[in-house]
Chains A and B, each alone.
Chain A
Amino acid sequence: MLLIPCPWCGARDEAEFRCGGESHIARPDPDTADDATWAAYLFDRDNVKGVGFERWLHRHGCGRWFNVARDTVTHEIRAVYAMTDPRPEIAP
């Protein structure tokens, strides 16, 4: 059970959150994207071993979405940052 540092509410139990999956997935221009590009946007996910970037919702708290950089092996949370922030550089 993770302890997630919500940028607004502080460290809270994972049960209060919802994981929204991989973050930083750019939505292609729907008018020009071919089927393969669109399918990749919908379905292709990195599933990294190591530091992964996810978006989480503090569902039973402030209701805000934010980004989390989490090591998928150790579950260590390496960074928490705003939805609008770029993906941080994190050494593996």
Chain B
Amino acid sequence: MSGFRLPQGGRIDRDQPLAFRYDGRWHQGFAGDTLASALIAAGVDQIGRSFKYHRPRGIFAAGPEEPNAILQLGPRPNLKATQVPLEDRLEASPVNCWPNARVDLGAAVGLFRRFMPAGFYYKTFKWPGWHWWEPIIRRAAGLGRVEPAAVAPEGQRRSLHCDVLVVGAGPAGLAAALAAGADGRRVVLVEQDSLLGGSLLVDRGTIDGMESDRWLEQAEATLAARPRTRILRRTIAFGCYDHGLVAAIERERIVWKIRAARVIVATGATERPIAFQDDDRPGVMLAGAVRAYLARWAAAAGRRLVLFTNNGDAYRTALAWADAGLTVAGVVDARRNAEGELPALAKANGIRIIDNAVVERTHGLRQVTGVTLRDGNGRRHRIACDTVAVSGGRDPAVALFVQAGGRLIWNDGVAAFVPGDGGYATPVGAAAGVFGLGSALTHGHAADSGDGTAPAAADASEGKLLPLWHAGGDPARSWVDRASDVTVADVGLAAREGYVSVEHYKRYTTSGMSPDQGKSSGVVALSLLGQETQRPQAAVGTTRFRPPWDPVPLAALTGADRGPRLRPVLHLPAHARHRELGATFEEYGGWLRPACYPRTGETREAAITREAAAVRDHAGIFDASPLGKIDVRGPDAGRFLDRIYLHRLSTLKPGRLRYTLAATESGIVADDGVIARIAPDRFLVGTTSGGAQRMAEHFEEWLQCEWVDLDVFVTPVTQQWGVINIAGPAARTLLAAAGSDIAFDAASFPHMTFREGHVAGIPARVARVSFTGECSFEVSVPARRTAELWDALAATAGPADLAPPTPFGVEALMVLRIEKGYLHVGADTDGTTYPADCGFADAVARRQDDFVGRRSMRRQDALRADRRQLVGLLPVTDGGALVAGAHIVAADGGSDGHVSSACWSPAVGGRIALAMISDGRNRLDEVVTVEDLGRQTQARIVRPPFVDPEGARLA
């Protein structure tokens, strides 16, 4: 236990202590802590175990680049402790050890197979096959647990529009936001941290002649006072997409889609380490992180520090450490001369500097107890310490810039990829490779309008950086990617085995594929790969910066689209009435509709059979409101519909109905429906319930894109009308009894005509059309009066000896239409069905003029005799296999077609089916084998319908 809380300082609230539990033990932190800073202050050095080798690991970084402290919080896996704000009673645990981080039995892996090189699993577990081993290996490695039963808090998806979006509220971002919003433009400033300030929260300085804390307060107050500037804290911009769309995640819950005219990226830079032997031991941390914990959270990682650096900036850590009254055992500077303003200051403060030297390895068991350094003369020295701060330079956080279309260039001065040109995002400050407080402020200020005066501050001269990637020691124990357990040796192995493309290298070693996404290791890895293959970094390049830049919970992306809101269903206007009648509801084509109306104690099957039989014996009523209805009018309406449908509709007389099919331009059945001609220039097109919207769009596409000369208006009116269907031998009498000014007798109101008038006092259009094979009336009324109409028809005030009609649902309707052999588009047809396949060959042949799909229907393949054709099937043996989806067994054992619809028919007294069978119409009376999931039924091919083939009941 070496970490502890300093007695004063830090941006924490010492009046608000918070208790939290980690790995089974209770600790205390303060409001303002992250889980990581609280753990360091509580002296928890060992946070968990490494991914592959189960090596002890401690906190390494202070931001989203943290590779080690990847934890489980209740049901939430893979959270980085550096990004978790401490809350009272928070409980967290490590993800990759058992029973706990201190005593991990999995560490045996590390003892017996100390070094599993890249590709080890794939090479070793080849027999009997990787898929056999994978589940076992995944369990041994893996990260957090997903708890399937846990329900994540509901996320949100929200949109924002602004003139200028500034990502990052460090000095450059603040300067940019201050300048951009000064003239009243809409500015959005997003900051991943809970506080604004970025590096100013750690490295204080002087801006505009005042203390940086004071300047920060003023800047924040200025921005807050601007009504058109909006600040989003704890919000990570995780992706730049086409045309300036930036996605951000706020507090892991709200996904923002931000459209900005201007995007300024002030995301700063990420410090990277230098690899050396056993550099993954707890106690080894990024120099900036050591300093951040000290300054921001008053959490000291230890008492005795060695700083290993190749640059001048990192000296700030030694200075801060000494300033806190702690011991700096030494600064090991890889450069020949420890040049720069900050090293000079360190020297003046009596800090021991060993230049032209490198740290070669650490010592210790579960915690660093010392390092061995190698000086310029090759001599090795051992220094005792409990903390090693390492800095290999800084990489501008360029992911968003690149996603926005920008190109990177390698800069030897800072030994990093920095933004070049291109793209829609403007990088500023450290994100642009412009280091130094004064430069960042000036750069940020100038990013947009550049009006006014930039905040002024001085840059500290840092001296030159010496590029250094692996300082020494055993490469197999020098870490590149801590999160994925990838070592310097793995990079070499990958290169020797031919994985020289950086993308191949990444996939082979899994480098950069953990929750930290290689933020601190990426440039180290590609530089080492370059050394192995004698290529400069510019030639190696980077892997692709794919969004998201930081993990985004799926629950946030899902937003409110869950449960019933994932795909809302439409409700019938008379829904309440059906519920009162005890309907079983199901979704059909986006509508929640009664499947059947079971009585108390009645099974679903019995209810369906009873309802279907009632329609044939007496009468039933059915809510047909979802039937698609499209009003088509205009001088060219008839010509237009002629070109859409299989049958000519311009010849239809007003007051009459016609059933027809529509096809796609490929000739495939798209929909069917009954079309009413209301007036010479006006039609009401009926579509299937599921096809209403699709067909209206189909009409519009042809009218707007192809037949622009036609004068036609298309208006979908499905939901404006409620439709109740009354069908059965008694339908006519019952309907008349409900009270109407329409004459319903067969002579004055024949089949396939419609009348307008009143039913039960409600203005109505009544159509004689039948999907049941019975005498049937579809009564359409304004939607809001549907329940009223239903009540009138269901209650029947007819002759005293006449029973009321039986409510029937979609399932009974299906039984009735299968008995009649009526086509159900989408059930009996699929993406290969031409109209000729389901009995419309003559209609196609008769048409001399063109309509959509006609030419395709005349292709040779469409006219083949052995195409699958719609026929009926009656079982010869037990009908168990006669279900929709069953196959007709061909002579060669393959499929000769399939059952498309099937039911138990009360009228036939057994199972019946419709099927698409090869050359079916020429095979009537043949007995075929139908197979479904191992069951077989012998069935005879018949010509439908099964009931009333003469259509006498329709009269």
Q: State the A residues within 8 Å of B (CB).
A: 1-3, 13-14, 20, 27, 30-31, 33, 35, 38, 42, 55, 57, 59, 63-65, 74-75, 83-84
Residues of chain A within 8 A (CB-CB) of B243 are 1-3, 75
Taking a contact as CB atoms closer than 8 A, the residue among B242, B257, B665, B700 that contacts A65 in the complex is B700
B463 to chain A, nearest CB (A): 41
Nearest first, the 5 closest Cβ-Cβ pairs linking A and B are A30-B855, A3-B243, A65-B704, A1-B245, A75-B242
* Complex partner residue of A31 from B241, B244, B705, B850, CB under 8 angstroms: B850
B697 contacts chain A at the CB level, 8 A cutoff = yes
**Cβ A74 vs Cβ B405 within 8 A:** yes
Note all chain A residues with C-beta closer than 8 A to B855: 30-31, 33, 38
Q: A1-B241, A1-B245, A57-B697 are in contact. Are A65 and B705 (CB under 8 A)?
A: yes
Q: Which residues of B contact A74 (CB under 8 A)?
A: 405
Q: How far is the CA of A32 from the CA of B708 in the complex (A)?
A: 22
Q: Which residues on B sit within 8 Å (CB–CB) of A13? A: 245, 257, 259
Contacts of A59 in B (CB 8 A): 697
Bound-state CA distance A57–B850 (Å) is 26
Q: Which residues of A are found within 8 Å of B705, using beta-carbon distances? A: 20, 55, 65, 83
CB of A73 to closest CB in B, whole Å: 11
Does B379 belong to the interface (CB within 8 Å)? no
By CB atoms of chain A within 10 A, which of B701, B854, B855, B859 has the most? B855
B666 touches A2 (CB 8 A): no
Does residue B856 face the partner (Cβ distance < 8 Å to A)?
yes
Tell me which of B244, B700, B856 contacts A63 (CB under 8 A).
B700
Say if the beta carbon of B706 comes within 8 Å of chain A.
yes
Extra 16 A-B pairs, beta carbons < 8 Å, given A3-B243, A20-B701, A65-B704: A1-B243, A1-B257, A2-B242, A3-B242, A3-B244, A20-B705, A30-B850, A30-B855, A31-B850, A31-B855, A33-B855, A38-B855, A57-B700, A59-B697, A64-B704, A75-B242
Known interface pairs A2-B242, A35-B859, A35-B860. Does A30 touch B854 (Cβ–Cβ under 8 Å)?
Answer: yes
Residue of A nearest to B405 (CB): A74
Within 8 A of A (CB), among B698-714: 700-701, 704-706, 708
Q: Counting chain A CB atoms within 10 Å of each CB, which of B242, B665, B700 scores highest?
A: B242
Q: Which residues of A contact B244 (CB under 8 A)?
A: 3
Known contacts A20-B705, A64-B704; A3 and B405 CB within 8 A of each other: no
Residues of A within 8 A of B860 (CB): 35
Q: List 30 A-B contacts (CB under 8 A).
A: A1-B241, A1-B242, A1-B245, A1-B257, A2-B242, A2-B243, A3-B242, A3-B245, A13-B245, A13-B259, A14-B242, A20-B701, A20-B705, A30-B850, A30-B855, A31-B850, A31-B855, A35-B860, A38-B855, A38-B856, A42-B665, A42-B666, A55-B705, A57-B697, A59-B697, A65-B701, A65-B705, A74-B405, A75-B242, A83-B705
Question: What string of 1s and 0s marks CB contacts (under 8 Å) between B651-687 and chain A?
Answer: 0000000000000011000000000000000000000
Alpha-carbon distance between A31 and B705 when the two chains are bound, in angstroms = 21
User: A56 CA to B859 CA in the complex, in Å?
Assistant: 30
CB A14 to nearest CB in B, in angstroms, measures 8
Q: Which residues of B contact A75 (CB under 8 A)?
A: 242-243
CB-defined interface of B208-250 with A at 8 Å, one 1/0 digit per residue? 0000000000000000000000000000000001111100000
Q: How far is the CA of A65 from the CA of B697 in the complex (A)?
A: 10
Q: How far is the CA of A64 from the CA of B697 in the complex (A)?
A: 10
Known: A57-B697, A65-B701. A27 touches B706 (CB 8 A): yes
Chain B residues near A (Cβ < 8 Å): 241-245, 257, 259, 405, 665-666, 697, 700-701, 704-706, 708, 850, 854-856, 859-860
Give the CA-CA distance A57 to B405 in the complex, in Å.
27
Q: A1 to chain B: which residues have CB within 8 Å? A: 241-243, 245, 257
Chain A residues near B241 (CB-CB < 8 A) = 1
Return the chain A residue nearest B854 by Cβ.
A30
A1 to B: closest C-beta gap in Å: 5
Among candidates B666, B701, B854, residue contacting A57 with C-beta atoms closer than 8 Å = B701
Contacts of A38 in B (CB 8 A): 855-856, 859
Q: Measured between C-beta atoms, what is the minimum distance from B157 to chain A in Å?
A: 11
Of chain A, the residue at the smallest CB distance from B703 is A65
In the assembled complex, how far is the CB of residue A83 from the closest CB belonging to chain B, in whole angstroms? 5
Q: Which residue of B lies closest to A76 (CB)?
A: B243
A34: min CB distance to chain B, Å: 10
Known: A27-B706, A65-B705, A83-B705. A3 touches B854 (CB 8 A): no
A42 touches B700 (CB 8 A): no
Give complex CA distance A64, B700 in Å.
8
| CA gap between A14 and B706 in the complex, in Å | 24
A20 to B697, CA, bound (A): 11
Most buried by A among B257, B704, B860: B704
Chain A residues near B697: list those with CB within 8 A: 57, 59
CA distance A83 to B703 in the complex (A): 11
Set of chain A residues within 8 Å of B708, measured between Cβ atoms = 83-84
Report A-chain residues with C-beta under 8 Å of the C-beta of B666.
42
Q: State the CA gap A52–B820 with chains docked (Å).
A: 50
Q: Which residues of B contact A33 (CB under 8 A)?
A: 855
**A38, B857: Cα distance in complex, Å:** 11
Set of chain A residues within 8 Å of B405, measured between Cβ atoms: 74
Taking CB as reference atom, which chain B residue is nearest A77? B243
Q: Which residues of A contact B706 (CB under 8 A)?
A: 27
- CA distance in complex: A3, B859 (Å): 41
Chain B contacts for A55, CB-based, 8 A: 705
For residue B859, which residues in chain A have a CB less than 8 angstroms away from its CB?
Answer: 35, 38
B241, closest chain A residue (CB):
A1
Closest residue on chain A to residue B714 by CB atoms: A63
CA distance A83 to B701 in the complex (A): 11
Inter-chain CA distance A33–B700, complex, in Å, is 25
Contact of A3 with B701 at beta-carbon distance under 8 Å, contacts A30-B850, A38-B856, A42-B856 already known: no
B666 CB to nearest chain A CB (Å): 6
Nearest chain B CB to A86 CB, angstrom units: 13
What is the bound-complex CA distance between A1 and B859, given in angstroms?
A: 40
Q: Which residues of the partner chain B approach A63 to less than 8 Å between Cβ atoms?
A: 700
Q: Chain B residues near A64 (CB, 8 Å)?
A: 704
CB-nearest residue of chain B relative to A33?
A: B855
* A31 contact set on B, CB distance < 8 A: 850, 855
Alpha-carbon distance A75/B404, docked complex (angstroms) = 12
For B259, list chain A residues within 8 Å (CB): 3, 13
Which of B405, B854, B856 counts the most A-chain CB atoms under 10 A from its CB? B856
Chain A neighbourhood of B700, CB < 8 A: 57, 63, 65
CB proximity of B337 to chain A, nearest CB, Å: 47
Point out which of B241, B243, B701 has the most chain A C-beta atoms below 10 A from its C-beta: B243
Chain A residues within 8 Å of B850, by CB: 30-31
Interchain CA distance A84-B259 in the complex, whole Å: 31
Query: Bound state CA distance, A31 and B700, in angstroms?
Result: 24
A89 → chain B closest CB, angstroms? 21
Task: Report the nearest A residue to B709, measured CB to CB.
Answer: A84
Q: How far is the CA of A20 from the CA of B241 in the complex (A)?
A: 22
- In the complex, what distance in Å separates the CA atom of A22 from the CA atom of B405? 26
When C-beta atoms are compared, the residue in chain B nearest to A84 turns out to be B708
Kindly provide the distance from the CB of B707 to the nearest chain A CB, expressed in whole angstroms.
10
Please give the distance in Å from A75's CB to the nearest CB on chain B.
5
| Cα distance, A65 to B855, chains bound together (Å) | 25
Chain A residues closer than 8 Å to B665, beta-carbon distance: 42
Chain B CB within 10 Å — which of A42, A55, A59 has the most?
A: A42
Q: Which among B244, B405, B701 has the highest number of chain A CB atoms within 10 Å?
A: B701
How distant is B160 from chain A, measured CB to nearest CB, in Å? 12
A66 closest partner in B (C-beta): B704
- Determine the chain B residues whose CB is within 8 A of the CB of A84 once the complex forms: 708
- Say how far A39's CB is from chain B's closest CB, in angstroms: 8
In the complex, what residues of B have CB within 8 A of residue A14's CB?
A: 242
Q: Across the two chains, which residue of chain B brings its CB closest to A4?
A: B243
What residues of chain B lie closer than 8 Å to A27, measured between beta carbons?
Answer: 706
Q: Min CB distance, B846 to chain A, in Å?
A: 16
Closest approach, in angstroms, between the C-beta of B161 and any C-beta of chain A? 10
**B263 CB, min distance to chain A CBs, angstroms:** 13
Q: Are B242 and A83 in contact (CB under 8 A)?
A: no
- Determine which residue in B244, B665, B860 has the highest number of CB atoms from chain A within 10 A of its CB, and name it: B665
